[in-house]
Structure 1
Amino acid sequence: MLLSHSGVHVGHANARATACPSSALPLPLGHRPRSSNAPVSIPRLATYSLRQSPAGISPAGASTSFARPVSGRGPVHARAVPSLREYSPPVEDLAGMSRVLLWFKHDLRVDDHPGLTACASAGVTNLTCLYVIDHDMLAPLLYTPGGPELLLASLQSLQRDLQARGCELLLQTGSVDEVVPAVARSVGAEAIVMEREVIHGWGEAADRATQELVQQDGVKAVIWSSTVWNPRAFDINFKGWKAKRGDAIGPLKTPNALPAAPSSLPTSDSLPSPEELRFMLDYAGSGSLSDDDMHEVAEKVHAWTDNKVESKVVKLVAAAISAGDVTPTQALQAYLNNSPTPSQSPAQQQLAAELATAVSQLEIVSSRGASFPALFGPMVSLGTLSRRMVLNETVKSQYRQGQALTIRAAMKATESSDFHRQLATLGSEAQRATQPEDLPAYSVRQWMWRGHSMEYVICEPQERRPDAPTIMLVHGFGAFGEQWRDNTAQLASQGFRVFAPTLAGFGRSEKGAIGYSQDSWRDYLRDFTLQIVKEPVVLAGNSIGGFIGSSMLADYPSLGRGLVLLNSAGPVNASFDMDDYNKAVLAKKPPPEFVVQLVSRGLFVSLALGVERTLKWLYPTAPHRADEWLAAEISRAAADPGSLEVFQSAFYLPPPRALNYLVQKFWSGPTLVLQGILDPLNDARGRAGDMKTILSSGVTVVLLEAGHCPMDEQPTMVNENLIKFIEEQVMKSSSPALLVNKASASVAVTASVAVTA
C-alpha cells in the first residue's frame, strides 16, 4: 500500500488473539481503534516534571504494578491484558511470606525495581534472586550490538549490588521451563515475583515455567510492571495520551537492605566468558533454523552487527561496568554530558570521550535521535537501566553546550518506548468494545528489533501440509500487518503457516530513531525471518513491501522459496546498469534540512487529514473495503511519536535498484506478479507487461480487476492465485530455488521507497 503517511495498526499484551484455526489462546483480545482522524503530533524537546515514587510501593495511580495472585490458575501475564486494578498493588500479597523467588529476566538492576522493593517492604524472610542463562531464549542477543558482553556485565553489576544489600544472585544454566520450577521447589518458594512480559516469546516461556507451580504447588505468581507515565490516563492516540498523562513518575528508591538468601540455595553456576557465551548462543540459534544456509546468513549478520560503531562502544561500556569503573547510571550520565568533565575519574573520562565520538557519528541529519537507542537501547532492553531512571537522569542534567542533542535523544526514546509499551498492553483492552465482529482469525504478537517493540500477525494451520512453505505477507508504505486481514486465516486453512509483520516505523510497531531506508527495512524482514519464522518463506509483498521483499530475497536468496509481487513499487528498467547506479548513489545530494522540514510537515498534515478519501481511491472496485477501521488505524499511527521522521526518510533515500534487476540477477526463483490493473498510481498494466517481457522466463503474470491493494480489495482472487502458485511452482521444486546466485548476492546498496510503484 503506497500512502504518504507513517502507518497503522493495533496492539495488545504478549499476544492479541482472534483465535487462529489451531490457536491455543483462549480469549479474543480486543484492539480496534476508535473512529477518528488523529491530528499529527510533531515530536519536540519537551520539559518533563517528575513525581517521585515513595520508598515503598507506588500509591494508587502510580504505574508500578503487581498482579494480585490467584491460587490455582496460571500466571496472568502470559496472554492477559493487564487490569488497571493491578496498578494499585497491595503489599499484602507478599506479607507474612518467608520464602520468595524473584526471577530476573529483563530487569537486571536493584534501582527502581518494583519486585525487590515489594520484597523488602513486605518483610520477606528469605529471598532467592534467580537468573537463568537459557541459550535458546538469549540467542537474539547476537543481533544486538555488544549484546552478550553487556548481559555479562549487567549480571556482574547486579551481583555486586545484591551482595552489598545482603542478598545473592543465583545463576543457573539451562531451560527456563526446567530451571525455574526446580529452583522454586528446592528453596520452598511460596511466591514467584517477576516482571510482566510484553514480548510473546518470553511471555510464553514465563507461562510454561510457572503454570505447574501455580496450579499444582499453590505458589503465588506476583507480576509487576512499571511505566514512566500513569497508565490510568492511557489513550491509544499519542496526542491524547500526552494531554492526559500528567507528570512522569520518578524511580523507586533503592532498598538499603534485602532479605538474605535461604540456606538451601543451590550452587550458582559461573558466568561464561563473552566468547563462550557467543559460541553457545550461536549454537542454540543455529539449532532453531531450518537449514545450514540460513545459519550461514545468521552468522554473517552477527559478524556485521559486531562490527558496527555502536557495538564497539557498547562493549567499552560493558567492560567499564564489568570492571566496576562505572555504574550503569554513571555511563548514562557520561552520555548525557556528551563530553568528559573534570569531576570524572580517568576511566569515566575515557568512556565519555568514546561516547561523544559515537554520538557525533550516529546523530546525522537523516536520523536525529539515533544515538540513544543505538548506544543505550540494549541496556534499557536488558533492564540494566529502567526507563524511569533514564528520564530522571535526563531531567536532572543541566543544559550545557552540545548537551541538548543527547538529552533530546534520550527523552524522545523514553517517551516513545513507554507509549508503545502501554499501547501493546492497555491499548488492546481499551479497544475490545470496538472490535469488528467479522474479524478474521489470527493472533497479533510483539517481538523486539534493535531495542524497539515491533508487532506481527501469525496464523498457524490446524494441520500443516507436507513440505508446505511458510508464507510471509509484507504491507506497503503507510500500512500494517493486519491489512492482510482476509488473507492470513484463509491461507492457514489450506495448511500454510502465515506471518504478516508490521514494518518498523508503521502501524503499532515502534517508530524509533533507527535511520529508515531500504536497507533498514530489508534488514528488518531478514531478521524477522531468522528470529521469528526460522525457515525460508514465500514472500508476498504489496507496493513498497514488494520492493523491500525483493531486495531481501535478492540479497539473501537462501531465506526464500518464492516471491509474489502485488502492485510492487520499484522502477522497471531493462537497461539498468549497476555501475551507473552506483555513480547515481554517490552523486545524489539530499535537500537542505530546513526544506525537508518545511515541505514534509505540510505534506504530512495534508495527507493525514485525507486518509479515508485516499483509501477509497486506491480501492476502485470495492471502496467499502476501505472501511472506518482501516482509516482510523492509519490516522492513529500517523500521530505516533517518530511518524513524521519515517515520512521524512523518503527525502534522504538513495535511488532504487531496478525491480527487474533484483528479481532476475540475484533472486532467480519462482516469481508471481499479481497486478491490479486499475491502480490509480501508475500504468499498472504496462508495468506488468514490462516485467513479463524483461524477465521472460520464471515469472508468471496475472492481471486482476483491482486497484493498488488487491490483497485487501479482492482477497479471494489473491488467495486463490497465491495458493495455485505455491502448489504448482514452489512445492513442486526440489529445493528452495534461490541458491543459484547466492554467492553473488550483494548487500551494499538497496533501492528507494520514494517511488510511485
Structure 2
Amino acid sequence: MTGQIINPPVKPTDLDAFITSSPSPFINSCKQHKRIWNWRGYDIQYTVEGEGTPLVLIHGFGASIGHWRKNIPVLAAADCQVYALDLLGFGGSEKPALDYSLDLWEVLLRDFWQQHIGIPTVFVGNSIGGLLVLMTLANSPDIAQGGVLLNCAGSLNHRPEDLPGPLSKVMGLFSKLVNAPVLGSLIFHQVRQRFRIRGALKQVYGNRDAITAELVEILYRPSCDPGAQKVFASILTAPPGPRPSELLPKVQHPLLVLWGETDPWTPIQGAKLYKEMANAPNQPVTFHSIPATGHCPHDERPELVNNLILEWLSSLKI
C-alpha cells in the first residue's frame, strides 16, 4: 500500500443510499458456481473450483470473473484450487458510491484471503489486477507464495505528469463531465454501448478471433447496473496508486510476468524493468513476451498462458 492500511467504509443500513437493485448475474460460459461473500456490508461475487495449490485470479478494469472463463477450468483440473472474484464496483459485485482506489481493493483481497483461504497463495492479475498482485506481494508477503502478472498496469488511471499537456486537460475535462449528474449519465450510456466495447477490444486485442459476442456481453452487462457510472467516474479521478518500480524492490516471492507484445495500453516497452530483473542473477522473476497478443493474454491465448502458468507453478515445487 502506498501509505497506511485504510478501513473501507461499512455499508449503511439504508441500502437505497448506495445501490438501488441487485448487480448483474454471474456471466460465463463455464459451469463455475456463483457464490456471494458479504464484505463489510457489501456483496462480493466470487467462485472457487478445484483442489490443490490456491490461486486467486484478479481481473482488470471493467472486467469480471467471466474474463477468466478460459482459464479457471484448466487450472482447476491441474491440482489448483482456483478462486476468482469480482472486485467491489465490477462484475456481479455491488457498485456503491464510494471513493474507489487500489488501496480499497487491496484490503478487500487480504480480507478475502483471510476469510476463505488462510494459507500462502499465488495471486494472478491482469492489468490493474496485476498491479494489485504486486501491492499484495510487497505489502502482505505473509499471505503469498508467488505472483503472476499479465500485462501489468503502471497505475490505476493516467497520471497527469505522464500525459502531454493538452491530453491531460482533455482527460481532466472528461472526468468532470462523467461525474456530472445528468450529462455524466448520457456520456456513460454512450461509452458503454456494445459496438463501442467491441471497437475498444479491437484496439487492444492482438488476437481478434478472441473478440466474441460472449466477451462483449461479459463487459457490457455489469455496466448497466445502477451505480456503474459513479464507479467509472470515481476511478477516473482516483489516486493512481504506486508505480511498479516502487513495489518491485519489496517483492521477495517468485514472479511470472507475461506480456502481450502488441498491447497499446501497456506497451511492451513498459516491460523493460521486468525483463532486466529476469536477466539479472538471483532475481526470482520469469519473463515471457507473447507475439501477436494484446492487453489480455489469458483471454487471447488461453492455451499458451495456461501452460506457462502451470509450468511455472511446477518449477516452484509448491
Q: Shorter-chain TM-score: what band?
A: 0.7 to 0.9
Q: Counterpart of 1:691?
A: 274
CA distance in structure 2 between the aligned counterparts of 1:545 and 1:523, rounded to whole angstroms: 13
Name the % identity.
31
- Tell me, yes or no, if the aligned pair for 1:615 and 1:626 is still in contact at 8 Å: yes
User: Are residue 447 (structure 1) and residue 30 (structure 2) matched?
Assistant: no
Across the two proteins, how many residue pairs are aligned to each other?
Answer: 291
Distance 1:659 1:457, change over 3 A: same
Distance 1:673 1:602, change over 3 A: farther
CA distance in structure 2 between the aligned counterparts of 1:692 and 1:602, rounded to whole angstroms: 43
Q: For residue 650 of structure 1, report the CA deviation from its aligned partner.
A: 2.6
CA distance in structure 2 between the aligned counterparts of 1:657 and 1:459, rounded to whole angstroms: 32
Q: Counterpart of 1:460?
A: 50
Of the three residues 287, 290, 305, the one matched with 1:704 is 290
Distance 1:594 1:722, change over 3 A: closer
Of the three residues 185, 199, 215, the one matched with 1:630 is 215
Q: For residue 702 of structure 1, report the CA deviation from its aligned partner.
A: 0.4
Q: Counterpart of 1:678?
A: 262
Q: Counterpart of 1:617?
A: 203
CA distance in structure 1 between the aligned counterparts of 2:184 and 2:296, rounded to whole angstroms: 25
Deviations 1:667-711 (A, max 9, x none): 221011100112132422x22233222573221110112111010
User: Are residue 413 (structure 1) and residue 5 (structure 2) matched?
Assistant: no
| Normalised TM-score (structure 1) | 0.36
- Long gaps (5+) in structure 2: 156-170
Distance 1:591 1:567, change over 3 A: closer
- Tell me, yes or no, if the aligned pair for 1:660 and 1:691 is still in contact at 8 Å: no
Q: Counterpart of 1:528?
A: 112
Q: For residue 651 of structure 1, report the CA deviation from its aligned partner.
A: 3.6
CA distance in structure 2 between the aligned counterparts of 1:485 and 1:530, rounded to whole angstroms: 25
Deviations 1:162-216 (A, max 9, x none): xxxxxxxxxxxxxxxxxxxxxxxxxxxxxxxxxxxxxxxxxxxxxxxxxxxxxxx
- Long gaps (5+) in structure 1: 1-299, 311-372, 378-389, 391-409, 429-434, 572-589, 732-757
Q: Counterpart of 1:368?
A: none
> CA RMSD, aligned part only?
2.8
CA distance in structure 2 between the aligned counterparts of 1:443 and 1:412, rounded to whole angstroms: 30
Deviations 1:649-674 (A, max 9, x none): 2343224322132122x222101110
Of the three residues 650, 659, 674, the one matched with 2:235 is 650
Q: For residue 615 of structure 1, report the CA deviation from its aligned partner.
A: 2.0
SS at match of 2:20: helix
Aligned pairs for 1:372-387 within 5 A: 374=11, 376-377=12-13
Distance 1:651 1:600, change over 3 A: farther
- Tell me, yes or no, if the aligned pair for 1:688 and 1:701 is still in contact at 8 Å: no
Aligned pairs for 1:478-557 within 5 A: 478-557=62-141
CA distance in structure 1 between the aligned counterparts of 2:131 and 2:90, rounded to whole angstroms: 16
CA distance in structure 2 between the aligned counterparts of 1:513 and 1:597, rounded to whole angstroms: 12
CA distance in structure 1 between the aligned counterparts of 2:153 and 2:237, rounded to whole angstroms: 17
Q: Counterpart of 2:164?
A: none
- Tell me, yes or no, if the aligned pair for 1:670 and 1:730 is still in contact at 8 Å: no
Distance 1:550 1:603, change over 3 A: farther
CA distance in structure 1 between the aligned counterparts of 2:78 and 2:246, rounded to whole angstroms: 33
Q: For residue 445 of structure 1, report the CA deviation from its aligned partner.
A: 1.2
SS at match of 1:415: coil
Of the three residues 156, 171, 179, the one matched with 1:597 is 179
Q: For residue 472 of structure 1, report the CA deviation from its aligned partner.
A: 1.0
- Tell me, yes or no, if the aligned pair for 2:19 and 2:227 is still in contact at 8 Å: no
- Tell me, yes or no, if the aligned pair for 2:120 and 2:145 is still in contact at 8 Å: yes
CA distance in structure 2 between the aligned counterparts of 1:553 and 1:525, rounded to whole angstroms: 11
Amino acid at match of 2:300: E
CA distance in structure 2 between the aligned counterparts of 1:602 and 1:658, rounded to whole angstroms: 33
- Tell me, yes or no, if the aligned pair for 2:151 and 2:266 is still in contact at 8 Å: no
Of the three residues 270, 283, 301, the one matched with 1:714 is 301
- Tell me, yes or no, if the aligned pair for 1:473 and 1:501 is still in contact at 8 Å: yes
- Tell me, yes or no, if the aligned pair for 1:561 and 1:730 is still in contact at 8 Å: no
Q: Counterpart of 1:326?
A: none
CA distance in structure 1 between the aligned counterparts of 2:18 and 2:189, rounded to whole angstroms: 23
Aligned pairs for 1:300-339 within 5 A: none
SS at match of 1:470: strand
Deviations 1:496-555 (A, max 9, x none): 100111111011111013321111111111111111222221111000100112112211
CA distance in structure 1 between the aligned counterparts of 2:254 and 2:19, rounded to whole angstroms: 44
CA distance in structure 2 between the aligned counterparts of 1:563 and 1:509, rounded to whole angstroms: 24
Specify the structure having the higher radius of gyration (Cα): 1
- Tell me, yes or no, if the aligned pair for 1:660 and 1:694 is still in contact at 8 Å: no
CA distance in structure 1 between the aligned counterparts of 2:127 and 2:41, rounded to whole angstroms: 27
Amino acid at match of 2:144: G
Q: Counterpart of 2:143?
A: 559
SS at match of 2:93: coil
Amino acid at match of 1:704: I
CA distance in structure 1 between the aligned counterparts of 2:97 and 2:264, rounded to whole angstroms: 32
Deviations 1:466-513 (A, max 9, x none): xxx311111100000121111111111111100111111011111013
Q: Counterpart of 1:88?
A: none
CA distance in structure 2 between the aligned counterparts of 1:633 and 1:568, rounded to whole angstroms: 21
- Tell me, yes or no, if the aligned pair for 1:567 and 1:674 is still in contact at 8 Å: yes
Amino acid at match of 2:219: I
